[in-house]
Amino acid sequence: MSAISHITLGTNDIERAGKFYDEVLGLLGFDRLPKPPGKPPAYEKDGMPTIYIYPPEDGRPATWGNGTHIAFIADTRETVKAFHASALRLGGSCAGEPGPRPHYGENYYAAYIRDPDGNKLQAVCYSVTDQAHEPEE
């Protein structure tokens, strides 16, 4: 059981955010929870904290935290690449191309993106199972 109940990310456009997270988190094995019409999207995966996408309660615009991000585990390096490519296609921006990050660990392979509202997300793979598909550096 996780010690974290849930994570909430702000959005200024629930429909856009839903389309973005349906695909990007779907690639990582998250399922969108069934919700009544008009409710913001929420996602779960195998006991991980629930990810909620909400407009801010105070009515002010959603903003992102400088220096903060959420890292999601990907099973393969190919999944990291697909996460990055999907995010860019769906209106996100690159915050770090897919690739090895040896300063974080020998098998650390990651990509960083910002969602359309500026929230920073990361997909990281610790496996070397598809390392043979990587070009030599």
Domain limits, the chain: 6-133
Listed in order, strand segments (DSSP E) in 2-103 are 6-10, 31-32, 42-44, 50-54, 70-73, 93-100
Look up the CATH superfamily of 6-133: 2,3-Dihydroxybiphenyl 1,2-Dioxygenase, domain 1 (3.10.180.10)
Task: Decide if pLDDT at 133 tops 60.
Answer: no
Q: Span 94-123, mean pLDDT? A: 96
pLDDT of residue 37: 86
pLDDT of residue 3: 80
Q: Span 41-53, mean pLDDT? A: 94
Q: Span 60-73, mean pLDDT? A: 93
Going by pLDDT thresholds of 50, 70 and 90, the confidence category of residue 130 is: low
Query: Cα 96 vs. chain centroid, distance in angstroms?
Result: 13
